[in-house]
Amino acid sequence: MKKFINDVSSIVDDTIEGFISIYGDIVKKVPDSRVIARKNIKQQRKTGIVIGNGAGHEPACIGFVGEGMLDGNAYGDIFSAPGPMHLLSAIKEADTGSGVLVLISNHAGDVMNSEMAVDMAKEDGIAVDSVLLYDDILSAPASQFRQRRGTAGTVFTYKIAGACAEEGKGLLEVKEIAERTRDRTRTITAALSPGISPLSKEPMFQIGEDEIQMGIGVHGEAAACVMKYESAQKTAVFMTEKILEDMEWSEGERMAVFVNGCGRTTYMELMIFYNEVRKFLKSKGIKLLRPLTGNFVTTQEMAGIALSVCRMDPEMETYWNRKTDTAAFPW
Amino acid sequence: MKKFINDVSSIVDDTIEGFISIYGDIVKKVPDSRVIARKNIKQQRKTGIVIGNGAGHEPACIGFVGEGMLDGNAYGDIFSAPGPMHLLSAIKEADTGSGVLVLISNHAGDVMNSEMAVDMAKEDGIAVDSVLLYDDILSAPASQFRQRRGTAGTVFTYKIAGACAEEGKGLLEVKEIAERTRDRTRTITAALSPGISPLSKEPMFQIGEDEIQMGIGVHGEAAACVMKYESAQKTAVFMTEKILEDMEWSEGERMAVFVNGCGRTTYMELMIFYNEVRKFLKSKGIKLLRPLTGNFVTTQEMAGIALSVCRMDPEMETYWNRKTDTAAFPW
């Protein structure tokens, strides 16, 4: 399988070089580490927000670094968590004297390396805390929700905690709203066709021609169940029902929907799918807030949709709507 | 091949319904026709800008309707030009008494139907004019440049003419800058894998596993040549050289690059490819302006890159940089 790349070993560094050449007015690469950080961050004083993730999910998370969202992103090899020294470098870069919150998407390597970096930062005298993010409801039952994987729904936390920090709130408050957003977010992913690993150049998993895989992870982790391919309407209703079953909610509540394309999902499909989710939630008496639609948290060119729903309160809603200045977030 | 759709016959209308439900603050559907128009356009007086295109290329062109870009988009069936009555409806909607410019991407159906609509609008007393857009250098030799197809590079014209109209310029001036932008734009497209037609549910063409097809059209029109698959660096240099050979330019000139993904092209590949184009143009003494990178003019989930280069003068540069308020244009 072909991609527009040079040597496989230089994919991530080539990506960063191109990215910085375009968005150098808002981001920079931190010297001697693979960290994308907000430019001029040291000129203000704010709670820093940092995350580490493997490459291959772009624009997540490099595209979310900037005003009103993330201050630093430690960027690993493809589908591989960045090392603790890179995370430490991101924390130091994001520290303006007001402390740093490390967001951790729940995957073993990310958790281990982020926790090591947090410990090292504490030893260096930085006020640092972390929040573990998990939103994929098909990766573990509700009784073991802390085992659930982090997936596309983490974007709600980046956005809302990021806006909260930008408004000058302290580390404790930013941590609290990050946890609140996580606790009110649920995600379920449906895959139609696999992405191609840039390393092996092979499809990352197999899907039958008449199948949808439900609950697949952002690195192609095994699906929870395989279903027969159905219309967008039936698929959307199935997924939205699963999400509503997994959380407490009441009629009249305000929710934001994120229809995330997993890479190759066309704009048409995103619009059609969102429309079905919208109609179903409306029929349940739910008030819909500004939605997010697009290929944001990708698994290379996987055909799939991660549907994420976040129950908002007025404070979260204000932060959700706040403008950002990033490469990829659309407002 | 699977997609998140309902009945094939409702794809376009379902897409529009979802799109309007999200972006209803900036666009609306014109009743009784398949036209997406800027909301509240009648509240100001400006030169209107309209285009028609078949569906299947989203976010083009529905995502470019809004302040600072297009006023109306007549939206056909999949890969099929909208009928003249829809185009006429778009023209009428965009007419605020200052005339309307119809942009026509050079494809037989679009040309025929747009010209019919222009004639009908004239009969209705609307001041209307049109500009034919052609930018695909591999679709016809330089000696027959008016036969060239319209492709991704048309976005430069939408953006620059749109900003010019927004600044209050008259129909003649907007037409002149649309023609100037077209004359200074060149595009070449490289495909790695086909998109899937939502109608036939089959790949739209075939590409050998070790091949790149150069010069393929936005509807999968036959490639001009088939090349051996090469690195992003070699492919980017080959394509950029072809573009430079096709136009007059001089060292020190200012150009903007558009690296358009054709559907499933990953963010990494867009960054890597742009980086190679940038380095090559820099080595030629060219000053690079703000680039555009992303999957904007798509052929469903085709893997490919349309490289477009526009030689800017100071006036065009100002309009290129001007902010828009649309669903899809990034600034």
Of A172, A93, A182, the closest CA to residue A137 belongs to A182
Cβ burial of B173 (10 Å; 0-12, 13-18, 19+) is middle
Average pLDDT value for residue range A21-28: 98
pLDDT band of residue A181 (cuts 50, 70, 90) is very high
Average pLDDT value for residue range A70-89: 97
Residues B166, A80: Cα–Cα separation, whole Å: 47
* Chain A interface test: which of B13, B27, B204, B268 (most A C-beta within 10 Å): B268
- Out of A4, A193, A305, the one facing B273 most closely (by C-beta) is A4
CATH number for the region B9-133 comes to: 3.40.50.10440
Beta bridge partners of B35: B74
User: Are A8-183 and A185-320 in the same CATH fold?
Assistant: no
What are the extents of the domains in chain B?
9-133, 185-320
| pLDDT surpassing 90 at residue A221 | no
Task: Kindly report the number of other CB atoms within 10 A of residue B21's CB atom.
Answer: 16
Residues of A labelled as active-site residues = 57, 219
pLDDT at position B233, please?
98
| pLDDT surpassing 90 at residue A220 | no
For residue B181, what is the DSSP state? H
Residues of B in contact with A15 (CB under 8 A): 267-268, 271-272
Percentage of chain B lying above the pLDDT 70 cut: 100
CB–CB of A274 and B22 under 8 A? yes
Phi-psi category of residue B6: left, alpha or beta, with phi > 0 → left and psi -120 to 50 → alpha: beta
pLDDT band of residue B323 (cuts 50, 70, 90) is very high
CA-based radius of gyration for chain A: 19
Please give the distance of CA A42 from its chain centroid, rounded to a whole number: 25
CB–CB of A269 and B4 under 8 A? yes
Residue length of chain A: 331
Cα B34–B329–A186 angle (5° rounding)? 90
- As given in the structure block, the two tokens for residue A243 are 């999400």
Task: Kindly report the number of other CB atoms within 10 A of residue A9's CB atom.
Answer: 10
| pLDDT surpassing 90 at residue B169 | yes
Instruction: Compute CA distances B268 → A9, A119, A198, B272, whole Å.
Output: 13, 32, 10, 6
Average pLDDT value for residue range B181-186: 98
Phi-psi category of residue B109: left, alpha or beta, with phi > 0 → left and psi -120 to 50 → alpha: alpha
pLDDT digit string, tens, across residues B96-152:
999 999 999 999 999 999 999 999 999 999 999 999 999 999 999 999 999 999 999
CB–CB of B18 and A231 under 8 A? no
Residues of B in contact with A218 (CB under 8 A): none
Residues A196, A8: Cα–Cα separation, whole Å: 13
Average pLDDT value for residue range B244-266: 97
- Out of A22, A58, A233, the one facing B291 most closely (by C-beta) is A22
B107 catalytic per annotation: no
Residues B166, B180: Cα–Cα separation, whole Å: 17
| pLDDT surpassing 90 at residue A70 | yes
pLDDT at position A222, please?
85
Average pLDDT value for residue range B11-32: 97
**Maximum Cα interatomic distance, chain B, rounded to a whole number of Å:** 56
CB–CB of B274 and A21 under 8 A? yes
Q: Which CATH number fits domain B185-320: 3.40.190.10, 3.40.50.720, 3.40.50.300, 3.30.1180.20?
A: 3.30.1180.20
Of B164, B116, B154, the closest CA to residue B258 belongs to B154
- As given in the structure block, the two tokens for residue A187 are 């995600």
Average pLDDT value for residue range B190-202: 92
Instruction: Compute CA distances B260 → A38, A198, B296, whole Å.
Output: 26, 20, 6
pLDDT at position B73, please?
98
- Out of B59, B235, B274, the one facing A22 most closely (by C-beta) is B274
Asked if residue A328 lies in contact with residue A23, where contact means CB atoms within 8 angstroms, the answer is: no
- As given in the structure block, the two tokens for residue A34 are 């693979």
CB–CB of A18 and B265 under 8 A? no
Beta bridge partners of A131: A103
Please enumerate in sequence order all residues whose Cβ is within 8 A of that of B110, keeping only pairs 6 or more positions apart, or say none: B52, B53, B54, B81, B104, B150
- As given in the structure block, the two tokens for residue A102 are 């490390």
pLDDT at position B42, please?
87
Of A278, A293, A284, the closest CA to residue A330 belongs to A293
Residues B53, B62: Cα–Cα separation, whole Å: 9
Element (H, E) at A160: helix A154-166
Task: Kindly report the number of other CB atoms within 10 A of residue B97's CB atom.
Answer: 10
3-state DSSP helix/strand/coil % of chain B, to nearest 5: 35, 25, 35
pLDDT at position B220, please?
86
Beta bridge partners of B306: B189, B260
Look over chain A and give the mean of its residue pLDDT values, rounded to a whole number: 96
pLDDT digit string, tens, across residues B48-73:
999 999 999 999 999 999 999 999 99
Asked if residue A310 lies in contact with residue A177, where contact means CB atoms within 8 angstroms, the answer is: no
- As given in the structure block, the two tokens for residue A214 are 């439900």
* Chain A interface test: which of B7, B267, B325 (most A C-beta within 10 Å): B267
Please give the distance of CA B124 from its chain centroid, rounded to a whole number: 28
pLDDT at position B222, please?
85
Phi-psi category of residue A5: left, alpha or beta, with phi > 0 → left and psi -120 to 50 → alpha: beta
Residues A41, B71: Cα–Cα separation, whole Å: 39
Reported for B171-178, long-range contacts at CB under 8 A and 24+ positions apart, including other chains, are B171/B47, B171/B98, B171/B99, B171/B100, B171/B101, B171/B127, B171/B129, B174/B47, B174/B49, B174/B101, B175/B101, B175/B129, B175/B131, B177/B315, B177/B316, B177/B319, B178/B101, B178/B103, B178/B131, B178/B133
pLDDT digit string, tens, across residues A297-318:
999 999 999 999 999 999 999 9
Beta strands in chain B (DSSP E): 27-29, 35-38, 48-55, 66-67, 72-78, 100-105, 128-133, 185-193, 211-214, 225-228, 254-261, 287-288, 292-294, 303-311, 325-326
- As given in the structure block, the two tokens for residue B91 are 């023209």
Please give the distance of CA A300 from its chain centroid, rounded to a whole number: 14
Q: What is the ipTM of this complex?
A: 0.97
Residues A169, A101: Cα–Cα separation, whole Å: 12
* Chain A interface test: which of B271, B323, B325 (most A C-beta within 10 Å): B271
Residues of B in contact with A16 (CB under 8 A): 271
A8-183 architecture in CATH? 3-Layer(aba) Sandwich (3.40)
